[in-house]
Amino acid sequence: EAGVTQFPSHSVIEKGQTVTLRCDPISGHDNLYWYRRVMGKEIKFLLHFVKESKQDESGMPNNRFLAERTGGTYSTLKVQPAELEDSGVYFCASSQEEGNTIYFGEGSWLTVV
Amino acid sequence: KQEVTQIPAALSVPEGENLVLNCSFTDSAIYNLQWFRQDPGKGLTSLLLIQSSQREQTSGRLNASLDKSSGRSTLYIAASQPGDSATYLCAVRRRGGTSYDKVIFGPGTSLSVIP
């Protein structure tokens, strides 16, 4: 069974540009989460989808971040325009039901220069 | 507000030693607690999940305990190996509020096992 996959694995962009990160959860997992770890900080929750609906987006830092999950399958996280402080690792995770083990992807490593 | 801390921040041990990693959380109203490991440049690998009603979980050389009332969890690694070298993260899933699924991570313990 394929795990959570994320694309791209690494991305280097200039300040002001746009980047779109993609996450494919484990097949059949309705719950999809985005987390990020910026340099020197702890991993922080960004948002949680249940199927195509945003269950909790309280962790989204500002309106430069937009997450979507059309059709309840894969999800995208767009950063527009990117700022230097957005550099870090963006993790996607999924779980089958609330309360179950959460499985993480390898992360998308973003560097904004 | 739930806060998760991990002690020590870094640990270096000789191969073969048994070791304990500590995790503390401030709010005992948790749904479950999960231990992860992260290798450099890699994602998070789930090690053990302890539900709030459980006291411990075991997998191979790993044993995780949970004392919800005192807000503590420990990860015990027996007979450590160089391949155990990684960052170990404790994550607490809260109960209540708008979502069960807001997981709060600790800062991690960086473990180095010396051959």
Residues of chain B in contact with residue A55, where contact means CB-CB under 8 angstroms, are 98-99, 101
**Residue from A56, A61, A77 nearest B100 by CA:** A56
The pLDDT confidence band at residue A79, using thresholds 50, 70 and 90, is very high
The pLDDT confidence band at residue B95, using thresholds 50, 70 and 90, is low
Residues of chain A in contact with residue B107, where contact means CB-CB under 8 angstroms, are 42
The pLDDT confidence band at residue A73, using thresholds 50, 70 and 90, is very high
What amino acid is encoded at A72 in this protein? Answer: G
How much is the average pLDDT of A26-38?
A: 93
Residues of chain A in contact with residue B102, where contact means CB-CB under 8 angstroms, are 45, 48, 56, 58-59
Q: Are A48 and B101 an interchain contact pair (Cβ–Cβ within 8 Å)? A: yes
pLDDT given for residue B101 in this prediction: 60
How much is the average pLDDT of A43-61?
A: 91
The pLDDT confidence band at residue B64, using thresholds 50, 70 and 90, is very high
Q: What pLDDT, in 10s, does the model give residues B22-42? A: 999 998 888 899 999 999 878
CA distance linking residue B61 with residue B51, whole number of Å: 20
**Among chain A residues, CA nearest to B98:** A56
Report how far apart, in Å, the C-alpha atoms of A25 and of each of A7, A51, B88, B115 are.
12, 11, 23, 37
Q: Mind telling me how many Å the CA of A70 is from chain B's nearest CA?
A: 20
The pLDDT confidence band at residue B96, using thresholds 50, 70 and 90, is low
The pLDDT confidence band at residue B98, using thresholds 50, 70 and 90, is low
CA distance linking residue B57 with residue B99, whole number of Å: 25
**How many angstroms from the chain centroid is the CA of residue A102?**
14
